[in-house]
Chains A and B, each alone.
Chain A
């Protein structure tokens, strides 16, 4: 599926999922071909080890195969459902990860070797979380609502979403107290929610 019409793509994915729910293997393969590169991209943001990320991807599709019946097109878009399965699995794969894990966007002027090691674990030319947030902010679904957030709020949310960091990890990264970071995340999300709700009211 290479069509550029987003709603046609959603319908296509939903139709594939409904056939997967019946155990249709041809539909399952078509779904994999159509969505796996995007899901692996999402997983790699959270689980940067390529081999582990591909293990997660495998689990994700086995999960999709088994849970396709629970997808309800009246409640969510097909791609949102698929992305959520992938991110959930990727976050679960981090359970044993150390809380003080370093990330590429954390550019310190300390140990050079450490920086090199961290970079080798990530895809090359990987954009940082704030770059990605910037690019996503123009997405129609966000209605310009990201602009209402403070820079600290945006940065905390970007690190959590695009880097898979926990509150503790975001606090370490930004060198801020945990409570401060928690409140940035909470208020940032609340502001996003309020803005999106206002925007959808204005449309209706």
Chain B
């Protein structure tokens, strides 16, 4: 069959999405999908159309044992926390002047009819101490929307940022108390973190190296590779 024919692709995609395409025909369709853009587009269109039917299906709460089974499947062994590194935050703040730790407010001087509040840019300097653990320190730059609701983080030197079987986790560090996780970020390319009030009660941002899946404890467990103080 010529699956690139639009009418045939459309009819098969409709039956696939509705669920009436079964058996060997369904399996064949599944294997063809990755290589056939026409089929994929048709499937997406039908999913969008047919999905409206799902709104009336009553919800059924899964048994409590389902989530632990899923968690065990996707996150292998957990790692115990070792260091409470954020207790040394005061030292970082003192060292902020000597390192390339800088917080800059960039005013947008474009002539806009309505002046926008400027985004806040924070440079998270690579921490040379991390190199002792055989980990390549990396600098990041973070742009925070003025309302603190979203944040874009990007490594400054992407080609050296390779972390095999490790995740990078971004933390908002308050002046006192434990850091809050802002989620995992990519070692290469930029990551947008949608998190309400990333700036609220935040003195610095830091990036730690964590096991895959992120810190198992909710507090940073691995070495801090990058830190930047926030000066509003």
Q: Which of B59, B71, B184, B218 contacts A24 (CB 8 A)?
A: B184
Residues of B contacting A38 with CB < 8 Å? Answer: 54, 57, 59
Tell whether, in the assembled complex, residue B62 and residue A189 are in contact, meaning their CB atoms are under 8 Å apart.
no
Tell whether, in the assembled complex, residue A76 and residue B57 are in contact, meaning their CB atoms are under 8 Å apart.
no
Tell whether, in the assembled complex, residue A185 and residue B53 are in contact, meaning their CB atoms are under 8 Å apart.
no
Tell whether, in the assembled complex, residue A157 and residue B71 are in contact, meaning their CB atoms are under 8 Å apart.
no
Q: Does A160 lie at the interface of the complex (its beta carbon under 8 Å from any beta carbon of B)?
A: yes
Give A46 to B185 CA distance when docked, in angstroms.
37
Q: Does B183 lie at the interface of the complex (its beta carbon under 8 Å from any beta carbon of A)?
A: yes
Residues of A contacting B60 with CB < 8 Å? Answer: 37, 40-41, 44, 123
Tell whether, in the assembled complex, residue A76 and residue B49 are in contact, meaning their CB atoms are under 8 Å apart.
no
Residues of B contacting A185 with CB < 8 Å? Answer: 15, 18, 20
Known interface pairs A40-B61, A76-B44, A166-B20; A29-B67 also in contact (CB < 8 Å): yes
Count of interface residues, chain A, beta-carbon cutoff 8 Å? 68
Instruction: Choose the segment among A56-64, A100-108, A113-121 that binds chain B (4+ C-beta atoms closer than 8 Å).
Output: A56-64
Tell whether, in the assembled complex, residue A29 and residue B26 are in contact, meaning their CB atoms are under 8 Å apart.
no
Chain A interface main SS type = helix
Q: Does A91 lie at the interface of the complex (its beta carbon under 8 Å from any beta carbon of B)?
A: yes
Q: Which of B52, B184, B218 contacts A142 (CB 8 A)?
A: B52
Q: Does B63 lie at the interface of the complex (its beta carbon under 8 Å from any beta carbon of A)?
A: yes
What string of 1s and 0s marks CB contacts (under 8 Å) between B41-66 and chain A? 00010111111111111111111001
Known interface pairs A25-B214, A28-B74; A189-B14 also in contact (CB < 8 Å): yes
Least CB distance from A40 to B in Å reads 5
Q: Which of A24, A28, A76 contacts B48 (CB 8 A)?
A: A76
Q: Does A174 lie at the interface of the complex (its beta carbon under 8 Å from any beta carbon of B)?
A: no
Near B by CB (< 8 A), chain A positions 92-140 give 92, 95, 123, 126-127, 131-136, 139
Tell whether, in the assembled complex, residue B47 and residue A84 are in contact, meaning their CB atoms are under 8 Å apart.
yes
What string of 1s and 0s marks CB contacts (under 8 Å) between A26-63 and chain B? 11110010001110111011100000001001100110
7 interchain pairs, CB-CB under 8 A: A22-B186, A24-B213, A58-B73, A87-B19, A135-B56, A161-B50, A167-B20
User: Residues of A with Cβ closer than 8 Å to B?
Assistant: 11, 15, 18-19, 22-29, 32, 36-38, 40-42, 44-46, 54, 57-58, 61-62, 65, 75-77, 79-81, 83-84, 87, 91-92, 95, 123, 126-127, 131-136, 139, 141-142, 157, 160-162, 164-167, 170, 185-186, 189-190, 192-193, 196
Given contacts A23-B212, A58-B66, A139-B53, 7 further A-B contacts (CB under 8 A): A24-B183, A58-B70, A127-B58, A132-B53, A142-B52, A162-B57, A185-B20
